[in-house]
Structure 1
Amino acid sequence: MASAVEYTTVAETPSIYATPETIEEQGTGTGEGLEARVVVYNCSCHTYQQVIQLFCEAIPGMTPGKAFELAWKIDHHGSAIVFEGDQATAERIAKHLASGGLRVAVQ
């Protein structure tokens, strides 16, 4: 008994995957919406509770749990990014945190 076997080459098989396109956008805006981040550095001069309170007051959407995690990271690693967003908001947050005595930088 002979059986017939068909072979299909890879070139004949249709591709089911789409090839991604790269889209580049160039903006000519004023720079007001530039992304920025607020970094807080360890200074060993505040309690966790003080830092948590400042974070909850200054950073939109901050919870005490997340604030504790950030305070722990700052205490153990020396710094942490506590906010990423537009430049104006980052500057406002940094000003509030600095007024509470924290060492901060906007990058």
Structure 2
Amino acid sequence: MTGTIIPLRSDRCATSAPDAFDVMAAELLREGRAVTLSGARLDAIRAALSAKRLQLAAVIADLQARPPSGDVRIDAVNATLRAEAGTGLTYIDVFLQKVEGCAVRINNL
């Protein structure tokens, strides 16, 4: 039934993040794991951000586990990568907080 209400694109055709979230949201609705489209979209965004957070945390752990290479330039690049990845992780956490705030507002409507 959801497929007749929400125009769906296959994952191969989803070219933008909103399209991808709509596909994920429609699946959540179809499976009964969400009640509203807005809630399903927020769940899809939350899931995507959480997955990216886990990936980035793994990259940071890998960078932190690397012993010094002995090459000053490589070690400087690794230090920069660690710092930038940490900044990215902070941004993801901020986005997750914003999603939670939106979810609270939607649930209170």
Q: TM-score scaled to structure 1, two decimals?
A: 0.29
Instruction: Decide which structure has greater helix share.
Output: 2
Q: TM-score scaled to structure 2, two decimals?
A: 0.29
Larger RCO, structures 1/2 (Cα 8 Å, 6+ apart): 1
